[in-house]
Amino acid sequence: MTLMHDVAPAPAPTTQTMTMAAALNRALADAIETDPDVLVFGEDVGALGGVFRITDGLTERYGEERCFDTPLAESGIVGTAVGMAMNGLRPVIEMQFDAFALPAFEQVVSHVAKMGNRTRGAMRLPIVIRIPTGGGIGGVEHHCDSSEAYYAHTPGLTVVCPSTPQDAYSLLRAAIASPDPVIFLEPKKLYWSKGEVDTSVVAEIGSARIVREGSDVTLISYGSSVATCLEAAEIAAVEGRSVQVVDVRSLSPIDDATITAAVRATGRAVVVAEAPGYASVASEIQSRVFERCFEYLEAPVRKVTGFDTPFASPKFEHWYLPDADRVLDAIDSLHWLDENAGEA
């Protein structure tokens, strides 16, 4: 069994404008096209093309042996993927909605994450578990969770979350090529966002990127909250503040070097994420920044997150999700010490 596959670009790489949904579809098609071991399955991913149409046309193009529907049994889907990976295949499975993956959580934690360690590396599992995540679509209960902390907390799992169509394509190709299991979180809110995608670009899992330069404060985020940070940065610029934005992209492993350098350059930081703030990925980033940048900090590291409650109903989700105003309030709080330094 070959463990690490080369990330082969599409036969004729081109740069096109496409949605994140289309970029994910293209990544799956290119992976199937270039690697006979890759197969895609899950609930309604076949003829329907998935709830969000991410797998649209794959069954028609490549046949039911490469992209097929499964029973409504998430634990069975993951368990089947484990058996396939143990026998040399590279399954890419879809959990229809974020909280729908929880019935399979025992399989993920007990077997997907631990098989490599249990066998001292003799049996590695090249599985990609795609999970539509987060809010912003007016979904009801069980359809808009942000459960990244569960997976990032689990040793043995790689966890990534793109914020652009380019990263959606490149990170998914890299995830499928990985010899070890990857939790691939897809922000539902961004499925129809558009951007340029170069299919010859290969992403490196474990690397963050600077998406906006700035000198006064660093915003650190991932997924759909990156767009919120960029919106806040634009408003702050009008007010005379220069805001840097870092897209973490890889939640586990995390790129401490890029994040640390960014915060040291500005001396101030705010971590922004949709998920509840307690015991979260945002909390971990906040802690790591404090540990590595303490002597460079001009103010405490803030975080702006969802509230520590179950996700809000569709009518109220705009109150729950972090917005530019909440981010700007956090930025203002970081500069209060400077502006009031002369007061006793």
Q: How confident is the model at residue 166 (pLDDT cuts 50, 70, 90)?
A: very high
Write out the chain in H/E/C secondary structure.
CCCCCCCCCCCCCCEEEEEHHHHHHHHHHHHHHHCCCEEEEECCCCCCCCCCCCCCCHHHHHCCCCEEECCCCHHHHHHHHHHHHHCCCEEEEECCCHHHHHHHHHHHHHHHCCHHHHCCCCCCCCCEEEEEECCCCCCCCCCCCCCHHHHHCCCCCEEECCCCHHHHHHHHHHHHHCCCCEEEEEEHHHCCCEEEEECCCCCCCCCCEEEECCCCEEEEECCCHHHHHHHHHHHHHHCCCCEEEEECCEEECCCHHHHHHHHHHHCCEEEEEEEECCCCHHHHHHHHHHHHHHHHCCCCCEEEEECCCCCCCHHHHHHHCCCHHHHHHHHHHHHHHHHCCCCC
Least confident of 33-42, 134-143, 319-328: 134-143
- Do 330 and 305 contact (CB within 8 A), yes or no? no
Least confident of 140-144, 192-196, 214-218, 280-284: 140-144
**For residue 320, which of 192, 136, 189 has the smallest C-alpha distance?**
136
Question: Rg of the Cα trace of the chain?
Answer: 20
Number of other residues whose CB lies within 10 A of the CB of residue 28: 28
What's the rounded Cα separation, in Å, for the pair 155 and 153? 6
Q: How confident is the model at residue 1 (pLDDT cuts 50, 70, 90)?
A: very low
CATH 3.40.50.920 boundaries in the chain: 209-339
Task: Specify whether 318 is catalytic.
Answer: no
Least confident of 172-186, 226-240, 302-316: 302-316
pTM of the predicted structure, to 2 decimals: 0.92
Whether the pLDDT of residue 148 is over 70: the answer is yes
What's the rounded Cα separation, in Å, for the pair 212 and 218? 9
CATH 3.40.50.970 boundaries in the chain: 16-198
- Do 162 and 186 contact (CB within 8 A), yes or no? yes
Domain 16-198 has CATH 3.10.580.10: no
Number of other residues whose CB lies within 10 A of the CB of residue 309: 8
- Do 210 and 244 contact (CB within 8 A), yes or no? yes
Q: Which among 142, 143, 153, 318 is annotated as catalytic?
A: 143
**Tokens found for residue 223:** 């997924």
Whether the pLDDT of residue 68 is over 60: the answer is yes
The CATH class for the domain spanning 209-339 reads: alpha beta
Angle between helices 20-34 and 165-177 (to 10 degrees): 30
- How many residues in total does the chain contain? 344
pLDDT of amino acid 336 = 61
pLDDT of amino acid 213 = 98
Distances (CA, A) of 201 to 50, 117, 196, 218, 295: 26, 31, 11, 26, 37
Cα 82 versus chain centre, distance: 22
Whether the pLDDT of residue 78 is over 70: the answer is yes
pLDDT of amino acid 311 = 87
